[in-house]
Chains A and B, each alone.
Chain A
Amino acid sequence: ETGVTQTPRHLVMGMTNKKSLKCEQHLGHNAMYWYKQSAKKPLELMFVYNFKEQTENNSVPSRFSPECPNSSHLFLHLHTLQPEDSALYLCASSQGDSSWNEQFFGPGTRLTVL
């Protein structure tokens, strides 16, 4: 039990759909992250939020739109995705956004774009 939950666990969507991924952490952390994990590729950092403020956008296409209403919740809004966006999307949290802090990961959302 990592204290970080993600919903849904699996999602299949068409290229014209709009969907959202949700992440919630119950650890009292201040920083939250979205990562993309594609097969046989390194984990890719997408966004970082610290105290609800976005501190990192790793050149992510605008079809991915993050939202962090408070330190416990993080959303990733998806719109007009491409098949190559199919991947495991992982959310993580840490005490602060420094690299010295251990990151706690959720189980991920397996996304398939048709």
Chain B
Amino acid sequence: SQQGEEDPQALSIQEGENATMNCSYKTSINNLQWYRQNSGRGLVHLILIRSNEREKHSGRLRVTLDTSKKSSSLLITASRAADTASYFCATDEGNGNKLVFGAGTILRVKS
């Protein structure tokens, strides 16, 4: 079953603009993670947010989590062409075990 669903499926912005991607999930969770995948490559871990956290920052990344709405958002500020990639959220479905990934958001940053 698909736990995380990203929205939008695709996003195209100009360099310097902010990009916001959303993730919704179905079950309770212990943590939610965001990963990036450049074309034809493996995924790279970006950030993990615990279920008792509401916001977390890492460089130009800001992640929010609303457990009452079962949703998370990833904000990339001052985007760069190098941010062009697919972004995935992943959750553990509350069992602390395997991660379940969403289908991802394809971000294109135009220079």
Please give the residue numbers on chain A whose beta carbons come within 8 Å of chain B beta carbons, in ascending order: 2, 4, 40-43, 45, 48, 56, 88, 90, 92, 97-100, 102-108, 110
Instruction: Tell me how far the C-beta of A46 lies from the nearest C-beta in chain B, rounded to whole angstroms.
Output: 11
Contact B42 A106 (CB under 8 A): yes
Known pairs A42-B2, A43-B88; A99 contacts B98 (CB<8 A): yes
Contact A99 B31 (CB under 8 A): yes
Contact A90 B30 (CB under 8 A): no
**B95: A residues at CB distance < 8 A:** 99
B61 within 8 A of A: no
Give the total of B residues in contact with A, Cβ under 8 Å: 24
Contact A45 B99 (CB under 8 A): yes
Residues of B contacting A: mostly? loop
Please give the residue numbers on chain B whose beta carbons come within 8 Å of chain A beta carbons, in ascending order: 2, 4, 30-31, 33, 40-45, 48, 88, 92, 95-104
Top 6 nearest A-B pairs (CB, nearest first) are A105-B42, A99-B92, A43-B101, A102-B45, A105-B43, A42-B103
Residue of B nearest to A35 (CB): B101
Docked pose: A100 CA to B95 CA in angstroms: 11
Docked pose: A56 CA to B99 CA in angstroms: 12
- What would 29 A/B residue contacts be, using CB atoms closer than 8 Å? A2-B42, A2-B44, A42-B4, A42-B100, A42-B102, A42-B103, A42-B104, A43-B43, A45-B98, A45-B100, A48-B98, A56-B97, A88-B40, A90-B42, A90-B43, A97-B98, A98-B96, A99-B30, A99-B95, A99-B96, A99-B98, A100-B48, A102-B48, A103-B43, A103-B45, A103-B99, A106-B42, A107-B42, A108-B41
Contact B99 A104 (CB under 8 A): no
**A106: B residues at CB distance < 8 A:** 42
Q: Contact partner of A41 among B4, B98, B100, B103, CB < 8 A?
A: B103
